Amino acid sequence: MSMSYGFTPQQQELIEQVREFADTVVRPASYEYDTKRELPYGIIKQMGDLGLFGLPFPVEYGGSGGDYVSFCLAVEQISRMDQSLGVTLEAGIGLGAMPIMRFGTEEQRREWIPRFASGEALAAFGLTEAEAGSDAGGTCTTAELVDGEWVINGSKQFITNSGTDITRLITITAVTGRTTRADGTVKKELSAILVPVPAEGLTVGPAYDKVGWHTSDTHPLTLTNVRVPEANLLGERGRGYANFLESLDEGRIAFAALCTGAAQGCLEEAIRYAQEREVFGRALADNQHTAFMIARMQARVHAARLTWLNAARQMVAGEPFKMQASIAKLTGSEAAMANARDASQIFGGYGYLNENLVARHYRDSKVLEIGEGTTEVQLMVIARGLGLAGAGL
């Protein structure tokens, strides 16, 4: 990164290390695994050996002792070359492991965090259902306490990292009670419960046939009388969704870093190709229109990186960052989508071939405007932060 973003020497070293790994290990294998639609477990192991999964966790829990900014920097660099691997890292830590670090008991942290920090195991978070995503009130999955065990019934969908060979835990949000308000309406009590994998009664459905993110593992889940100990409650009873929203705010920062990495990858490819490709006897880059397209791509990357860095630094400093996280996610996802479109246009016909990195970014980037809160949700959060009456639901 040629511009100064105020990184520490340790962070700059991390960037260079992960960038080299992404260029020499991830990129050469990306198309092969995308075509096979398989998660490259060998590369995941190497990422674990590099300490990438442990970056935001204290050493006492088997982590690398870094901070959240460092974790996001790693996500960005991996995502330059492969968004599927980027989201495997981002979701496995941001949504899977971080809620345990934030809200788990000491026993839960010591049991699970070292395994996730090493990369030997992956965690998932099961929130979304057919009628419940941003609207958690639509949650239908239930968990009833019977003889010291939670008995869970229901289904989840679009759950990342839920069916890999190394998935060892899925945190499920479920209705654990109901209360009737004064006006007669019923309020659902939502709690988060840890479900070790495999579990009797837990069925992982076939992987989705997705437009992009072919290497990322995503499945529907069905839970039929799944029983786990009462002690597997994560955080306070009734605080499952509220705690998840806090984790989601953090996760959106890492997701924005993923978006920035995708936008950066498209920029680098566009520059390289425009300088190499000759049209009518001169380099494509000598065409002012092409040069201006690439200049706009650089501006988008810079803005995206600044927004996620700002949000991450406020989070690390203990300052409010909810609106900043949504700004980062909005800015980053739009930058990735726009840069993928422009890079594909610069490549022409070659930009429509799946073997081309920019073509895969073009397919992959659409979901960046949907996952971890749609563009519309981010606008709603930002508008609410501004105190606007028409901010949403």
Same domain? 228 vs 255: no
* Residues 114 and 14 reside in one and the same domain: yes
Question: Is the separation of the CB atoms in 90 and 258 below 8 Å?
Answer: yes
Final residue in a domain of this structure, among 201, 218, 238:
238
pLDDT of residue 3: 67
- For the entire predicted model, the pTM comes to 0.94
Residues 69 and 138 in one domain: no
Strand partners, 278: 283
Here the CATH number for the domain that contains residue 171 is 2.40.110.10
In a domain, 3, yes or no: no
Round to whole Å and give the CA distance between 300 and 320. 25
Measured between alpha carbons, how far is 53 from 47 in angstroms, rounded to an integer? 7
Residues 94 and 164 in one domain: no
Write down the pLDDT at residue 393.
Answer: 57
**Measured distance CA(239)–CA(178) in Å, rounded:** 13
Q: Which secondary-structure segment (H or E) carries 359?
A: helix 357-365
Start-end of H helices in 5-105:
9-21, 27-36, 41-49, 68-81, 83-91, 98-103
Measure the CA–CA gap between 392 and 372, rounded to whole angstroms: 17
CATH number, domain containing residue 34: 1.10.540.10
Beta bridge partners of 154: 223
Within-domain flag for 62: yes
Domains identified in the chain, total number:
3
Name the DSSP class of 25. Answer: I
**253 and 209 in one domain?**
no
Provide the β-strand partners of residue 145: 150
Residues marked as catalytic: 372
Same domain, 364 and 327: yes
Domain holding 279, by residue range, is 242-385
Same domain? 262 vs 373: yes
**pLDDT value for 271:** 98
Tell me, yes or no, whether 197 lies in a domain.
yes
362 and 270 inside one domain: yes
The CATH number assigned to the domain holding 305 equals 1.20.140.10
Give pairs for 93-96: CB < 8 Å, separation 24+: 93/53, 93/55, 93/56, 93/254, 94/247, 94/250, 94/251, 94/254, 94/255, 95/123, 95/124, 95/125, 95/160, 95/247, 95/248, 95/251, 95/372, 96/122, 96/123, 96/124, 96/125, 96/161, 96/169, 96/171
DSSP state for residue 197 in the 8-state scheme: S
Q: How far is CA 340 from CA 26, 84, 345, in A?
A: 19, 15, 9
Judgement on whether residues 370 and 262 belong to the same structural domain of the protein:
yes
Domain final residue pick, 81, 102, 121: 121
Residue 392 lies in a domain: no
* Same domain, yes or no: 247 and 223: no
Q: Is the residue at 4 inside a domain? A: no
- In the block, tokens 């941003």 appear at 134
Residue 56 covered by a domain: yes
CB 307 within 8 A of CB 256: yes
Same domain, 200 and 316: no
Q: State the DSSP string of 236-280.
A: STT-HHHHHHHHHHHHHHHHHHHHHHHHHHHHHHHHHHHHH-EET
Tokens (6 digits) for 242: 């509220």
Residue 293 lies in a domain: yes
Residues lower than pLDDT 70 in the chain: 1-3, 134, 391-393
Measured distance CA(65)–CA(99) in Å, rounded: 17
Are 113 and 56 in the same domain?
A: yes
Q: Is residue 61 part of a domain?
A: yes
